[in-house]
Structure 1
Amino acid sequence: MTRRAVIAGTGSALPKRRMSNAELAERVDTSDEWIVERTGIRFRHIAGEGETTATLGADAARTALDAAGIAPNAVGLIVLATATPDQTFPSTATKVQTALGIDDCVAFDVQAVCSGFLYALSVAESMIRAGSADVALVIGAETFSRILDWEDRTTCVLFGDGAGAVVLKAEDSEDRGVLSVSLHADGRHNSLLYVDGGPSTTGTVGKLRMKGQEVFRHAVVNLATVLGEALDRAGLSVADVDWVVPHQANRRILEATARKLGLPPEKVVVTVDLHANTSAASVPLALDVAVRDGRIRRGDLLVLEAMGGGFTWGAAAVRY
């Protein structure tokens, strides 16, 4: 038997305010038809006063722990993926730790933008497999609305805020849990998707900038390739997959990736219409939605995949 990291529970959290395309059209030169046709997005949630990456992450973590039937004091590791931390330091993970009432555990952040959850999952899974932890919280949480240029209609329509979390628990199993992870990065493409600020360069937070068509072109190729890599490493094929849980960036990217792989669209979990692009929160948020509505069931083979600024990209094969 092999020591593996098994998903024991999932959770998610969204800000109270939900913004429709029509409401957004009152702020910038756009329309519901324009946004839906190009992205599939209809709504996004926007963090309000008192709602931060840490509060959303903590709420998602509580829901995941409840689903797993595990008390917070059993958690030995928190890995939180975000590009929008509450503070430059300390880590947002330590704020979640405090909010959950955990006095002592390993807690840190991972920054790989939209691929962040896959990177965090890989780190936590490796630590569990190595015996460094028995129970881990892996969280993706973002408040991207606070780094958007609300006068740039090509970017501000695409993003929303939210959080998703999974509880990983060590279990001896041959075919259950995280079976494989494949990760990549290529910093040559920095200028295609980035934030034009930072403590070391401008001393400001900055705003998100993106060349959408170029990102789309890279995304379809990279996501299809890395999904195949994750399956190959697990000794599986596309035909074995029950569900693909992708980063929710754009419906056209999801559809194009599925076509490239020969996957039927009904096997792809799509929540981009409800939440828009929530960066590192997007994969665990979509996973939680599909678990709670009954689509994803125990024993299903899942492939989680994402690509983000950097570029970074990755995929994981998971037997749920």
Structure 2
Amino acid sequence: MAASKNSFGVLMLQMMVVLGLFSLHAEGQGLKVGFYEKSCPHAEKIVFKVIKDVMAVAPSLSGPLLRMHFHDCFIRGCDGSVLLDSPTRQSEKFSPPNLSLRGFNIIDRVKVALENACPGVVSCADIVALVARDVTVVTKGPFWEVETGRRDGKVSLFSDPINPVTGLPRFTANITVLKESFALRGLSTKDLVVLSGGHTIGMSHCSSFESRLYNFTGKGDTDPTMDQNYIARLKLKCKPRDQTTLAELDPGSFKTFDDSYYKLVTKRRGLLQSDAALLNDPETRAYLDQATSHGSTFFKDFGVSMVKMGRIGVLTGSKGEVRKLCTKTN
């Protein structure tokens, strides 16, 4: 009887967590394209100029800056909480899943440029969303209209990204966990496979996939679902316990936003387990096939899914604030 009560308690806790996340669904009331048209008419041009200048000298930041929007929206909604600093390292930024993020200084640089033009007007949450679009465009990817009007949150907790139920999906997640994580936020299976295509730009630390090369089941073996020739090539780059070396998520075109990521995944050359997981579901597998055909709609779909993701749990109107500095609340 005690065990059954305990199980019931766990179930109730999970239900409460899910119910608490209903407000995080991709709804986005209060957002609109051109929100700053009157209050800061050149806002989007200012953001694009900074990003274009940055990409000219540091193109490797495109992937991390795109991923920052995902990491922000999946935790507490798209409220800029991932940007907040903490003197005791207890904010989201310092949580393990976010330690690989880079480019926070670029967000600060954009904020300074906007504050010089329109003090106290453009939120940091909107900057993250606009930057994600602009790094995609500069790397030859699609353009989409970004809805703006988000306000910045005041809470950022170290524990949120690593919460086993509501945290960021891990790079080792299987397809069931990935689908549940996206569904919890009002995103579909199609959104999952489309947004995974963002891995066409960027890199990953060897430590994120080391087990697939050297110790997949704890017996010194390799991941049997991964192309063995690809494993051999990765072993030349990544040695056991390597914490610093980076590998391209989309070898050969990791600085260009294209559809080659899907071609790699279908050839069993997805770098992360969460990439390979897309082969294990009929709907995601069907999209992989479609994205590698002449009838690919990936570019259009990516913009649609990014807009949808950008609506998760937004603060608008009188909620939240517009930070003067993206690293701390007013």
TM-score in terms of structure 2 length: 0.29
**Larger relative strand fraction:** 1
- Normalized per residue, the structure richer in helix is 2
* Bigger radius of gyration among the two: 2
TM-score (norm 1): 0.29
